[in-house]
A and B are shown apart, each in its own frame.
Chain A
Amino acid sequence: MKHLIPEFDRLKARFPAGCESSLVLPCVRRIQEERGFVADSDIDGLVDYLGVPRIQIEEVLSYYTQFRRAPIGRWHLQTCRNVSCSMCGAERLMAHLREHLGVGPGETTADGRITYSTVECLGSCGTAPVVMVNDTYHESMTVEKLDALLKELG
C-alpha cells in the first residue's frame, strides 16, 4: 500500500482539513484495484495512515458489496437481475451462464478464471439487459453476444 501514499496525499488536499475519515472508501477502492482484494496488511496500513479506528475499515469492507477481503477470478461477470433487465431477458442470460460456467452466483469457475455474480439495477436499464465485466458495462446483451464475450475473455 505504501507506494500509493503520494496519490492518497494528493486526494487528501482536496478534502477539508480534519476529514481523513472520508478517505477510507477511496483508499480501499484504490488498494483493491491494485491487489484485487483488501488484505490484513492493507487495513493495518490504512489505520496508520488515516488514524481511523480499525473497526471502521472492517465495517466498510463488510457493508459495501463492491469491496472484498479475498481474491476472485480474473474476470468478474455481474448480471443485473433487477426489474428492467429481468423484463428484457436477464433471466435467460443467468440460466445460460450457470450452464456454460457450471457455477452459480457468488461462485468462481474451477479453473479460477471467472467469478459470476448477480447485481441490482446498474442504472443502465434503457440498454437492458446489462452484464458488467470487471469495470465495463456490456449493454443490450443477448445469449449470442454473451457467448462471443466469454470466448474473448482470456
Chain B
Amino acid sequence: MPGKQLLMTFPVTATSHTLADYRARGGYATLARALSQLKPEDITKEVTTAGLLGHGGAAFSAGRKWSVVHLNDGQPHYLCANADEGEPGTFKDRWILENAPHLLLESMLIAAYALQVRHAFVYIRGEFDLPYRRLAGAIEEAYAAGYFGERILDSDFGCDIVAYRGAGSYVCGEASGLLSSLEGKRGYPRNRPPRLTVQGLYRRPTVVNNVETLANVAGIVANGAAWYRTFGTAKCPGTQLVSISGHIARPGVYELEYGYSLEKFLYEDCGGMAGGKALKALVPGGISTKVLTGAEIKGVTFDHQSLAAAGSSVGSGGMIAIADGTCMVRLLQVMLRFYHHESCGQCTPCREGTGWMHRIIDRIVAGQGRPGDLDQLIEISKRNDGTTICGMGDAAGYATIGILAKFRDEFDYWIEHKHSRLAGNLEVPAHA
C-alpha cells in the first residue's frame, strides 16, 4: 500500500457499496452527530483547518471556497459534486461512485448542512453506466432511510439530491460549464468574476467540488482536522486517489498518501513498466499536466510541492506511464485531436488555436512538416495561456509545451525525414 489510506479502507465485495454495508462500517453516524451537535460554521472551520484541497485539478482549499458563501444572505445555496471525470487518464472518481457512493452522499449531506443547501446535485458524465446506477441506487436507499427529504433525522435540516447526467462534453467538467449544463443548456463555461460561490447555478451561490474532495468531508468531521493532518505532509495533508494507466504492469486506482515516493509507487506498487521496459515519460495528473521524463521523476514525491518543483502538478491524479520506444509525436497528435474536438468554441484563441495546432501536428505526421512548425506550436500555446474563459485553452498549451520541451528531437526528426524515428509506435510491443 502506498502509505496510509483515508478512502480505500474497506474490502470491496459484491455488497460493499450498499447502505447496509456502509452502515455496518459506521456510515451516517457522522451526519447524525453533525446535525444534532455541530453548527454549520463549525464544519466549514474544521474542513478549512484540516487543509483539505480540491482533488479535481486546481487544488484550491475547500474550506476557503465554502467560506465565501454567506449563510444568512436569504438566498438559496447550491452544492454540486463534479463527477464528470473527463480528463484523459482519470478514472478515480469512478472508484468512489461504484464502491463508496454512500460515503459521497453522507459527505455531501454534511457539506450541504454546513453551507445551508436545500438542493444538491451530482453531475455525472453521460457515458458512466455502472457508476450512475450505483449512485442512483444509493440515492434511493438513502431517501428511503430518511437521509434526504424534509427534516432529516428529526432535525430542521432538509435536503434533496439529483444525480444529473451529462451527455458527452469535456468542458462540462469545468465548474462553470458544468453549471450551464445543469441549467439544461449547452455546457458553455462562463467568465469570472463573479465567482460561482457568489453567482453560480441560476445565479445563486454555488459550491462545486470534485467527488473525491467531498468524499473526504465525512472523515474530517468524524475524526477532526488534527487527525486528517496526520496523513500526508505538513504542507500537503491527506491522500489522493491516483488512477494509473498506459504501459504499466498493474494499472488501476490506488490511494497514495501525499509525500509518497513516485519511484516506489511505479516500481513497487504498480509492478514497474509493462514488459519490463524503461520509463520514458510520465503524465502525472491527466494529459493537461506537463509530462516528466523518466529521469525527472527521480527523488520526486507525490504531493503538490514536490511535483511543482519538478515542473508539473498533481492535477486530477490521472497518471499515464509511457515506456521507452513510444513515439511522442503521435502521442501529442492524439492529445491535440482531443483538445480540438472538445473546444466549445466560445473563445477565439482556444477555438482557432486548438484547430491550428491539430492541423500542424497532422501535417507533420503526414510527412509535410516545415522547419518553423514547432516554434509555431509553442507560439500558439503561449497565446492561449490566460486569454480564454476557461482553463481548456491553457491545458492544450501546457500539454504541447511539456512534450516539445523534452522530446523536440523526435519532432525535428519526423520533419526532416518525413517519418517517425520510432515507427510511430504508441503501443510498445513487449518483445521490442
Contacts and interface: CB of A to CB of B under 8 A. Distances in A.
B160 interface: yes
Interface string A5-45: 00000010011101101111110110000000000000000
A59 B186 CA distance: 7
A91 B327 CA distance: 14
A89 interface: yes
Contact of B331 (A83, A125, A127): A83
B94 interface: yes
Contacts of B94: 123-124
A120 B342 contact: yes
Contacts of A84: 88-89, 245-246, 320
Interface in A92-145: 92, 119-128, 132, 135-137
Contacts of A87: 245-247, 320, 322, 326, 331, 426-428
A54 to B, nearest CB: 13
Contact of B85 (A23, A52, A60, A123): A123
Contacts of B168: 64-67, 119
A10 B89 CA distance: 36
Contacts of A14: 119, 160-162
A125 B184 contact: no
B169 A65 contact: yes
A81 B330 CA distance: 12
B322 A121 contact: no
Contacts of A19: 183, 202
A24 B184 contact: yes
A110 to B, nearest CB: 26
Q: What is the interface residue range for chain B against chain A?
A: 35 or more
A83 B129 contact: no
A67 B130 CA distance: 20
Contacts of B427: 86-89, 91-92
Q: What is the interface residue range for chain A against chain B?
A: 35 or more
A57 B253 CA distance: 38
Contact of A56 (B119, B185, B322, B330): B185
B409 interface: no
B312 interface: no
B342 to A, nearest CB: 7
A64 B283 CA distance: 28
A65 B161 contact: no
Given A83-B335, A87-B322, A125 B91 contact: yes
B127 interface: yes
A56 to B, nearest CB: 6
Contacts of B402: none
Given A120-B342, A124-B94, A128-B245, A25 B167 contact: yes
A125 B160 CA distance: 33
Interface in B78-103: 78, 85-91, 93-94
Contact of B126 (A24, A56, A60, A64): A64
| Most chain B CB atoms below 10 A, which of A60, A63, A127, A135 | A63
Interface string B301-317: 00000000000000000
Interface in B401-432: 426-428
A52 B186 CA distance: 14
B126 A120 contact: no
Contacts, number: 159
| Most chain A CB atoms below 10 A, which of B243, B322, B426 | B426
Contacts of A15: 119, 160, 162
Contacts of A119: 127, 168
Contacts of A137: 129-130
Contact of B426 (A26, A65, A91, A132): A91
A124 B128 CA distance: 9
A133 to B, nearest CB: 11
Nearest to A28: B167
A64 B125 contact: no
B183 A22 contact: yes
A25 B169 contact: no
A23 B181 CA distance: 10
B45 interface: no
Nearest to A19: B202
A67 B168 CA distance: 8
A38 B118 CA distance: 33
Interface in B105-162: 118-119, 125-130, 160-162
| Most chain B CB atoms below 10 A, which of A11, A88, A119, A126 | A126
Nearest to A27: B184
A130 to B, nearest CB: 10
Contact of A123 (B127, B326, B331, B335): B127
Contact of A26 (B76, B118, B165, B318): B165
12 contacts: A16-B78, A25-B181, A64-B187, A65-B168, A66-B168, A84-B246, A86-B427, A87-B331, A119-B168, A121-B338, A125-B88, A137-B129
Given A83-B89, A123-B93, A135-B129, 16 more contacts: A14-B162, A16-B78, A19-B183, A59-B185, A64-B167, A65-B168, A66-B127, A66-B167, A82-B338, A84-B88, A87-B246, A89-B427, A122-B127, A123-B128, A125-B90, A136-B129
A-B complex: 8 closest residue pairs judged by Cβ atoms? A24-B184, A64-B167, A65-B168, A125-B245, A121-B88, A66-B168, A126-B251, A84-B245
